[in-house]
């Protein structure tokens, strides 16, 4: 079994031992449910989120795979799942909220041939 680390400050005087992969999966599933239900993120619970890079990579992969279909639109993603689209960022955000995602990742999808510029 791989390693899982749960560090609990000593002054709380509590010890937990996860004895099997199945038990670890239940703990993590329940934690994910709590985070979604309470509209939290790992940092809200005081947890270090080592999955940020993984989530970022999933978003990038989704954007690469779906660029042509959604070029010129705003999209709302929950991880690598599309939860809203729109001509404006507000439309995409409202669709995400209707789909139960209150803090989506919002981005405008640029076309492959679109020239992006920035400046003052």
pLDDT at 29 over 70: yes
In terms of DSSP bridges, do strands 81-86 and 74-78 run parallel, antiparallel, or are they unpaired?
A: antiparallel
pTM (2 decimals)? 0.55
**Mean pLDDT value across residues 59-79:** 93
pLDDT at 53: 66
Domain extent listing, the chain: 19-49, 52-108
Q: Give 76's pLDDT tier (boundaries 50, 70, 90).
A: very high
Instruction: Give the C-alpha separation, 105 to 63, whole Å.
Output: 12
Q: What is the pLDDT of residues 93-110, one digit of tens each?
A: 999 999 999 999 999 998
Provide the β-strand partners of residue 82: 77
Q: Give 24's pLDDT tier (boundaries 50, 70, 90).
A: confident
Give the helix ranges, DSSP H, for 1-120: 21-37, 52-70, 89-98
Instruction: Give the C-alpha separation, 95 to 31, whole Å.
Output: 26
**Which range, of 5-9, 21-25, 57-61, 93-97, averages the lowest pLDDT?**
5-9
């Amino acid at each position: 079994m791989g390693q899982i680390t749960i560090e609990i400050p000593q002054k709380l005087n509590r010890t937990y031992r996860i004895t099997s992969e199945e038990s670890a999966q239940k703990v993590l599933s329940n934690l994910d449910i709590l985070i979604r239900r309470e509209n939290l993120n790992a940092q809200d619970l005081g947890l270090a989120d080592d999955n940020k890079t993984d989530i970022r990579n999933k978003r990038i992969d989704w954007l690469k795979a779906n660029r042509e279909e959604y070029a010129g639109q705003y999209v709302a993603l929950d991880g690598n799942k599309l939860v809203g689209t729109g001509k404006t960022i507000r439309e995409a955000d409202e669709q995400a909220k209707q789909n139960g995602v209150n803090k989506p990742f919002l981005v405008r999808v640029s076309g492959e041939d679109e020239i992006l510029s920035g400046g003052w």
